[in-house]
Amino acid sequence: MMTRFTAELGERDGLDRALTTTRSIRRRLAYGEPVDRELISDCLQLAVHAPNGGNRQEWRFVVADDPAVIEQIAGYYRTASEAYLAAKPPRDPSMAAAARLLASRLHEVPVLVVGCLKGRLAPEASARELSSFYGSIYPALWSFMLAAGRRRLGTTLTTVQLAYERELADVLGIPYETTTQVAMVAVGHLLGDGVSPAPRRPVDEVLSWNCWQEPATAPRPAPS
């Protein structure tokens, strides 16, 4: 069903355009081309305005732009990525190819932003605790990616490297016992003109009203 949103999607700009074109960029990163630190700082300055649990702002961002440091991170990333893809290969071969490309060239990515949270959850943490903890930085990481896209930077958020969280903590000097690495964002200048919206399932396939429905159906009438 064509809606006003889908009809106008290709012509949208501003925030709507940013929200529909901020996607994982791997093939079109300018590998090896430096990114000015001021650009990263500007994006993070916007990111820290994101909502977070209790406004405690327990996040920390470690930015790696030293090629020697990135090389060390890339070694762990390649190993983790190979294991992940072997255990859980994407259904789309092009996605697998893009993931392997990033893994093979991560050492050439000019900037890696590691998002961390102060504290470490117990293994038996409840769903509420997990959601509250990790949910206190993901909005900021997303805001960072939106801001980067507005500055013609491509980004990819990844977590496979966390298989070696302790080793990466040693590389970056992160206090492992008291600080949790949550995700890493690879950042580089964007090659080419613009970014198209990623293919996504229609919202009607993932939406239900008032109760779980599989598959989603039309909204039920409101009670009188």
End-to-end CA distance of the chain: 28
| Residue showing tokens 């079109």 | 28
Q: Is this model's pTM higher than 0.85 or not?
A: yes
Rounded to the nearest 10 degrees, how much is the dihedral formed by the CA atoms of 97, 196, 111, 152?
Answer: 150
Residue 205 tokens, joined:
């396939």
Cα dist. 45→39, 72, 84 in Å?
Answer: 10, 27, 33
Per-residue pLDDT tens, the chain, 224 aa: give them: 445 554 555 555 688 888 888 888 899 999 999 999 999 999 999 999 999 999 999 999 999 999 999 999 999 999 999 999 999 888 888 889 999 999 999 999 999 999 999 999 999 999 999 999 999 999 999 999 999 999 999 999 999 999 999 999 999 999 999 999 999 999 999 998 878 887 888 888 888 899 998 864 555 444 43
